[in-house]
Amino acid sequence: MANKKKTLQVAVIGLGRFGQSVAKTLTELGCDVLAIDSDMKKVEAVANTVTHAVQADSTDEENLKMLGLQNFDVVVLATGSCIQASILSAIIIKEMGVAQVIAKANSELHSKALEKIGVNKIVYPERDSGIKLAHSLMSMNLVEYLEISPEYQIAEVIIQSTFHGKTLKEADLRNRYGINVLAIRAGDTLNVSPQADDVLHEGDMLVVLGRTKDLKNFCENC
Ligand code: ATP
CATH code, domain carrying 199: 3.30.70.1450
- Distance CA(75)–CA(55), nearest Å, equals 16
In a 10 Å sphere around its CB, with 0-12 CB exposed, 13-18 middle and 19+ buried, how is residue 137 labelled? Answer: exposed
Tell the residue nearest (CA) to atom 16 of ligand 1. 14
* pLDDT per position as a tens digit, 15-35: 999 999 999 999 998 999 999
User: How remote is the CA of residue 178 from the centroid of ligand 1, in Å?
Assistant: 42
Query: Which atom number of ligand 1 is nearest to the Cα of residue 104?
Result: 6
At 32, the amino acid letter reads D
Let me know whether 131 and 146 are in one domain: no
Lining residues, ligand 1, CB within 6 Å: 13-19, 36-39, 42, 57-59, 78-82, 85, 106
Domain that holds residue 164: 141-221
Let me know whether 29 and 92 are in one domain: yes
Let me know whether 133 and 203 are in one domain: no
Query: Which atom number of ligand 1 is nearest to the Cα of residue 85?
Result: 27
* pLDDT per position as a tens digit, 77-119: 999 788 999 999 999 999 999 989 999 999 989 999 999 999 9
Which one of 17, 82, 91, 106 would you pick to mutate in the ligand 1 pocket, going by the greatest count of ligand atoms within 8 A of its CB?
82
- Of 55, 58, 8, 48, the residue nearest 24 (C-alpha): 48
Between 54 and 164, the more confident residue is 54
Let me know whether 198 and 181 are in one domain: yes
Query: Which atom number of ligand 1 is nearest to the Cα of residue 106?
Result: 6
Q: Judge if pTM exceeds 0.75.
A: no
Q: Which of 71, 104, 137 is the last residue of a domain?
A: 137
* pLDDT per position as a tens digit, 148-197: 777 888 888 888 888 999 999 999 999 999 999 999 988 878 899 999 99
Q: Which of 137, 166, 184 is the last residue of a domain?
A: 137
Let me know whether 101 and 205 are in one domain: no
